[in-house]
Amino acid sequence: MADIGTLVVKITSDIAGLTKGLEDAQSKVSAVGKGMQKAGAGLTAGVTAPLLGLGAVSAAAATSFSTNMANVQTLLTDLADGGTARTQELGQAVQTMAMSTGKSTEDLAGGLYQVVSAFGDSADTVKILDINARAAAAGLATTEQAIALTSAVTKGYGDTSAEAVQKASDLAFQTVKLGQTTFPELASSMGNVVPLASALGVSQEELAAQFATLTGVTGSASEVSTQLRATYQAILKPTADMGAAISSVAAQIEAAGQLVDNQFTQSWQDARQTLMEVSEEFAKSRVAMTQMEAAGQTSSQTYKDLAARNKELGTMQKEANKAVEDAAAALGQSIVQSVGYDQALQMLAATADGNTNTLGKMFGSVESLNAVLALSGPQADSYAEKLAAMNAVTGASDAAFAAQTEGVGAAAFQMQQMRQQMTVVAQDLGAALIPALSAAMTAAQPLIAQIAALADAFASADPKMQSTILAIAGVAAAIGPVLMVVGTMVTGISGLASAFGLVAAAVGPVVSLLGVILNPITLVAAAVGGLLAVLFNWGGANDRVAQSLQNWGLEGVAEWVRSLHEGV
């Protein structure tokens, strides 16, 4: 009995020592596990996630910018290298401009495309883009909208230099300042009337002053554009009533010695001279015939010859009148060039003597009549004042840009600049990363092929095997939370020490893969590979785990573990 007692005491003592040893080991392992979890969480949140996010954002930014600049290069393919070097040069200019103007590189690249498309590539390309970018920033418009306006004006008036673009921009801002419109509204409207304005001889200053005067009075910028277009067209392609009015005004200007000398005025003067000569001879012929009729000489040959000539002169007079009308129809541009659009319009309106019906016949539409009545009537003084302001417009764009970016708008503008600076940094970083990512994808092609093969194998497996794989995949997806729970389980179930040893053995390879799994393709490959490894090695491990569970009375759990092996 003493021997048995001694044995019991010894066994009890040994078990107590074993238990304490296991508890100490579990405590240390738990502490290490928690430390690893904490470090991993910190690295994930503080390093991995930001780096992955930065890489994704940078690659996306670089890709977008590269696509936009590739669009520009399609317009430069005639260059020796297909436009690559020039596109890279312009791309750097776009990024620099974005940081200085606060406009996005996407906006500027779109604007650059329009500049090269509208003007062609030249030494002024970057300067023209900069003028329009600043105009857009000051006018709360896109760069493409600004270019639509300045290109329409400069091309319509035949001067596409950087200086002409600057002038068009200055006039636009002066129009916005003095009228009742916005830069985007003006950009979408003014181009519609520029060709006719230029053809008629209306100056840029006059056109801008008309928009400034009429917007808010006769309608929006779009409506004013329609009104002015109809007015110009009525003078360039006149009705019979307008032709007569133009001829009358041209005669007044000629009498004042102000009529310009060109082929149109010369043709009109020649036609008028012919008409005067024919009319004079016709009048004399009529007087002679009247005298012979009074003398009873109507049967004489002289009278008959005179009558025949008189008839001929009548026909000639009609033809001369038609020639004068035709020549006068081409004089619209000449009278505008002679005295300016403002005075020409006033003189044309005066021929109607205030009769709006006559004016309506002359100008041919309600739209044009609205503009004519305003500019020649109650808005005449306002138009004159605004025209004077348009002649002193230099610097209006710069003043508008300063108003938006300095003073109360300084903080907002600085934030816009900072945003674009960050975007440019991301684009440059992405441009450097993309080749490396491309190389990595090339290297990963074998893995992708293996994954495809595994997918085919899974598809051809029997339903029971597929269900088992999916169940274990679900466990793998939840491995993070499970690992956090394992620490708690080990504390309460020391009998799982052998199982913990198995897990610890598996942790080593997993930890070694932490640096690799940041690659999404590697993550998939590793997950599938790990799943297969579990399936192939479960037979030996599950028996030990199940036996340990059974020893502690967990029969139900042990049977479930064994069933996993049977399922596999």
Cβ–Cβ < 8 Å for 186, 175? yes
Q: Is residue 340 part of a domain?
A: yes
Rounded to an integer, what distance in angstroms lies between the CA atom of residue 225 and that of residue 181?
A: 12
Q: Quick one: pLDDT at residue 516? A: 40
Q: How confident is the model at residue 9 (pLDDT cuts 50, 70, 90)?
A: very low
What is the separation of C-alpha 267 from the centre of its chain, rounded to a whole number of angstroms? 50
- Tell me 219's DSSP state: B
* pLDDT of 497: 41
**Same domain as 450, residue 345:** no
Rounded CA gap, 503 and 369, in Å? Answer: 92
Choosing from 294, 329, 363, the residue where a domain stops is 363
For position 533, what pLDDT does the model report?
Answer: 47
Tally of CB atoms within 10 A around 178: 19
- Residue 153 belongs to some domain of the structure: no
Is pLDDT at 448 greater than 60 in this prediction? yes
Q: Which two tokens stand for residue 108?
A: 């500027």
Say if 258 falls within a structural domain: yes
pLDDT for residue 22:
45
| The predicted structure's pLDDT at residue 375 | 94
Flag whether 504 is in a domain.
yes
How many angstroms separate the Cα of 196 from the Cα of each of 89, 193, 237, 249?
38, 6, 11, 21
Is the domain of 354 the same as that of 245?
A: yes
**Residue 358 shares a structural domain with residue 450:** no
What pLDDT does 557 receive? 55
pLDDT, tens digit, 9 for 90 and up, residues 454-472: 777 777 777 776 676 666 6
Can you spell out the DSSP letters for 17-44? HHHHHHHHHHHHHHHHHHHHHHHHHHHI
The set of residues, in sequence order, having a beta carbon less than 8 Å from that of 559 and lying 6+ positions away, is 546
Size of the chain in residues: 568
The answer to whether the beta carbons of residues 152 and 225 sit under 8 Å apart is no
Task: Please say if the pLDDT value at position 563 is more than 50.
Answer: yes
What confidence tens digit (pLDDT) does each residue in 252-287 have? 999 999 999 999 999 999 999 999 999 999 999 999
Residue 550 lies in a domain: yes
Nearest-10 crossing angle of helices 221-236, 356-363: 80
The residue out of 363, 388, 422 marking a domain boundary is 363
Evaluate whether 307 touches 240 at the Cβ level (below 8 Å): no
**Beta carbons of 502 and 541 less than 8 angstroms apart:** yes
pLDDT, tens digit, for every residue of 29-46? 455 456 545 655 554 555
Q: Is residue 378 part of a domain?
A: no
- Residue 499's pLDDT band, with cuts at 50, 70 and 90, is very low
The residue whose two tokens read 């598996």 is 506
pLDDT digits (tens, 9 = 90+) for 306-322: 999 999 999 999 999 99
Separation between Cα atoms, residue 374 and residue 383, nearest integer Å: 9
C-beta separation of 215 from 179 below 8 A: yes
Domain extent, residue 524, equals 15-58+445-567
Mean of pLDDT values over 64-73 = 94
Determine, yes or no, domain membership for 268: yes
Range in 1-10, 22-31, 142-151 the model is least confident about: 1-10
Give residue-wise pLDDT tens across range 198-248: 999 999 999 999 999 999 999 999 999 999 999 999 999 999 899 999 999
Q: Which residues contact 10 (CB under 8 A, 6 or more apart)?
A: none
Q: Give the end of a domain, one of 322, 341, 363.
A: 363
Same-domain status, 347 and 450:
no
If asked whether residues 260 and 358 sit together in one domain, one would say yes
Residue with structure tokens 């053995």? Answer: 505
Radius of gyration of the chain (CA): 46
Please determine, for residue 75, whether its predicted confidence score (pLDDT) is greater than 80.
Answer: yes
Domain membership of residue 113 (yes or no) is no
Distance CA 278, CA 501 (A): 125
∠ CA 368-372-375, nearest 5°, is: 140
Number of domain units in the chain: 2
Provide the whole-model pTM.
Answer: 0.67
Do 242 and 234 contact (CB within 8 A), yes or no?
Answer: yes
The pLDDT of residue 551 is 59
CA 515 – CA 509 distance, rounded (Å): 11
Judge if 358 and 454 occupy the same domain: no
Residues 6+ apart with CB under 8 A from 178: 212, 386, 389
The confidence score (pLDDT) of residue 441 equals 72
Q: How far apart are CA 529 and CA 511, in angstroms?
A: 15
244 plus 359 within the same structural domain: yes
- Tally: H helices and E strands in the chain: 26, 0
